[in-house]
Structure 1
Amino acid sequence: MKKWFVVLCLIAMISLPYSSAKNDSWIKITNPSPGLYFKGEEIFPLRSSVILIGSYSLKVKAEGSDNIIAVYFALYDVRNKDIVNNHWDMEKSDGWNWDTELKRGIYALMVAGAAIDFEEPVAIDWLFVVVI
């Protein structure tokens, strides 16, 4: 009896992988991936920021759950505390994309997806961008 109790306790303590429902709303920035870039080429990966040296164009790509119907891209200037550029992408067939030009500065790149979901109507992802 003690053996069964120990086995049941061990099974209860094992963390089962989290399986998300198919209807969960999510969005993720896939390009640019966090890293240090020199003239558009990634030379070193980073954890949560993008540092651009010698390049002033940014091609943003995002992918999201099937229930997302529109995506809003925004570039927030951290120093001036203002949104300097934004874009709505309503065309899911070609993916969620945005090409923009940047000046030197420190930015927060935010992507928000509007979804058909009562529990999670908005999905958000962001990156920290430094342009030198």
Structure 2
Amino acid sequence: METDEGKLAIFGKWLETGCMDDYVLTIENIVRLNRICLIVSSRAATLAAVEITAIIERQNIITTLNDSIIIGVSGSTFEKYPHMEERVKKVLNHWFGDKVLQRIHLDIAKDRGGIGGALVAMLYSGFRNNYPITLLTF
């Protein structure tokens, strides 16, 4: 496993050779870059949560059902951003509260090619009567 110093060296080498000429990486710049990445990824999570919130509100499933609310999520942003699911759930909790958040399940759809067909099959097979299903792509 690489150490933080090793990762810093690799990142610095990439900046020097592949990105910017005559650039010297400093700890201060790493801290700034880390902060920018945190802001961008937190905003992405907030926008995803807003989309989920709008769908849940529009379908009025909070007041009409007490079952689980299953949200199918497809996309590398959701899968690969560190702590994306936790950030999305934090925003959902802020909007809906803990009681509703416990009903919301974010399931990652791994099979990109069959998502549409699987979703349609689930909707018309009677599964829709048991759980609200929504598919989002990030």
TM-score using structure 1 length: 0.22
1 or 2, which has the higher helix percentage?
2
1 or 2, which has the higher strand percentage?
1
TM-score using structure 2 length: 0.21
